[in-house]
Structure formats: C-alpha cells, structure tokens
Amino acid sequence: MDYEEKRAKLKPIEWDNPNKMHIETGHKTFDRQTVCLSCGNCWAPTQHSSYVRAWNDTVNPVGQKVTPGHLQNYDLRYFWDIRTPKYVIDKVKEHSHDKEVIFYALFHWTNDGHRIIDGYILTDKDYKLIQAWTTGPTWKSSLVVYGAMPYLAWREDGSNN
C-alpha cells in the first residue's frame, strides 16, 4: 500500500491556523496542547511515536549484524523511559516478532509540568489498528485515545472515520 492509499483511510486533518490542527476529542487540555498528530515517527507536544522493528530484524542501518531483539529494544527505549506498563510492551513485542509496527504514546501536560500518559495505539506499518490502551487516570483519557485514533489508525471495517 503506498502512502496516499494509507492516508486516504485516515481522517483528514483540518487546520485552525498554519501551526495548529483542529481536534475535538472532548479532553480540553489535550485538544489545546495538540499542535498536530502524525503517523510514524513523531516527537510532538502531545504525541511520541516510533516505528518498532521486528524482533528478528538483525541487520542495523549500516549493515552490521546484531542479535535478535537488539534493534527492537532500541526502538522501545523511550517507551520504557516513560514507564509504559509491561503488559503493553509485551503486546507490542508479540505483534512485532516478525514485522515492523508503529507504536504511539498520547499524553497531555499538567499546569505544573507533569506529563499524563492518556494511552497508547499500536498499528501495523500501513496504519491498520492492532490494539489501543487507555492508561490515564480518568475517563477523559479514553476520549484522547479514541479521539486521536481516526488520525493515526484505520479499522478493517472502516468504523473509525
């Protein structure tokens, strides 16, 4: 599937201004802090995401042989650093044993600078939804995950757009 075919399955982004996408998840803080949601590798104010290489991918970008799992663990290091629950990481590893996936963390910031992880989304490399988790402290976190999902993932039945 080429890039245009993948993007066509997602909700199109509309812009409030050239520097801010329009989003209404129902979580006012997340919506206000979100500049843009993007597929693939992204480092943004309310989203960090990364391609996660397959466990059995054993050749690094410069052609050197590495042990199985080495590159995958490198790709997951940020998610360990933000204390992603082990059951979530285990599920990511389960789905990426033989294939590359994209793993998203969605969050917002409190007034005193603390990051609140609202949840995670896991897709295949074509943005097809594999699984999503709500991990935030209140019901509003589910609004973030399910409100952001149409921009990042598509379901086989098309129910997210």
- Tell me, yes or no, whether 158 lies in a domain: no
CA angle 31–37–41, rounded 5-degree value: 145
- Tell me, yes or no, whether 143 lies in a domain: yes
Q: pTM for the whole thing?
A: 0.94
- Tell me, yes or no, whether 157 lies in a domain: no
Mapped onto helix, strand or coil, the DSSP state of residue 157 is coil
Mean confidence (pLDDT) of the chain: 95
Q: Return the pLDDT at 159.
A: 64
Tens of pLDDT along 32-77? Answer: 999 999 999 999 999 999 999 999 999 999 999 999 999 999 999 9
Q: Return the pLDDT at 4.
A: 84
Q: What's the total number of domains in the chain?
A: 1
Q: Please give the distance of CA 47 from its chain centroid, rounded to a whole number.
A: 7
- Tell me, yes or no, whether 144 lies in a domain: yes
Res. 161: pLDDT tops 60: no
Q: Return the pLDDT at 153.
A: 96
Tens of pLDDT along 109-160? Answer: 999 999 999 999 999 999 999 999 999 999 999 999 999 999 999 988 766 6
Mean pLDDT of 97-104: 97
Q: Return the pLDDT at 157.
A: 79
- Read off the pLDDT band of 5 (50, 70, 90): confident
* CA gap 70, 50 in Å, rounded: 15
- Tell me, yes or no, whether 159 lies in a domain: no
Range of the domain at 133: 3-152
- Tell me, yes or no, whether 11 lies in a domain: yes
